[in-house]
Amino acid sequence: DGSCQRIDQYIKVGGKDVITGTVEVIRVLPNNFGIAAFFDYGNAFDSFAQLARKCSPAAAQQQQCSSLQYSVGIGLRVRLPVMTLGVDIAEPLSSSLRWDATAQVFRSVRPGPRLHINFSPKL
């Protein structure tokens, strides 16, 4: 019929300005193995002014603010002939907004741990 569905339950993801960072400690083990502990932070913004505003779930829903997100984790490193393979478990320290379809509202939630697999050049 040409009508559009409501999209007010969606949160825009991304932005033109980005801040990211990682602090990582790697302990080399025998036989080309290693273990790592890390702290990550970052987010994307339409404007860095969003970062300066106090961020409540209602303000974030209206895209009026944004906050840095943080996580910590541990991982295993395997040095291969041409690359390093990493397998990490990361736990978010920050809450994020998720749409609750039953209640028709955004809720602040802290998701559980995530598995990350990465390949990087051998250093």
Two structure tokens written together for 97: 């907004």
- For the entire predicted model, the pTM comes to 0.68
Q: Is it the case that residue 98 has pLDDT exceeding 90?
A: no
C-alpha span between 88 and 85 (Å, rounded): 10
Mean pLDDT of the chain: 79
Query: What integer is the mean pLDDT of 17-35?
Result: 93
Mean pLDDT lowest for which of 17-26, 29-38, 92-101?
Answer: 92-101
Residue type, 28: V
Looking at the chain, which runs of residues are DSSP E strands?
A: 17-29, 33-45, 69-79, 83-92, 96-100, 105-109, 114-121
Strands lying side by side in the sheet with 69-79: 17-29, 33-45, 69-79, 83-92, 114-121
65 confidence band (pLDDT: 50, 70, 90): low
Could you tell me the pLDDT band of residue 60, with boundaries at 50, 70 and 90?
Answer: low
The amino acid present at 17, given as its one-letter code, is D
CA distance 70 to 60: 17
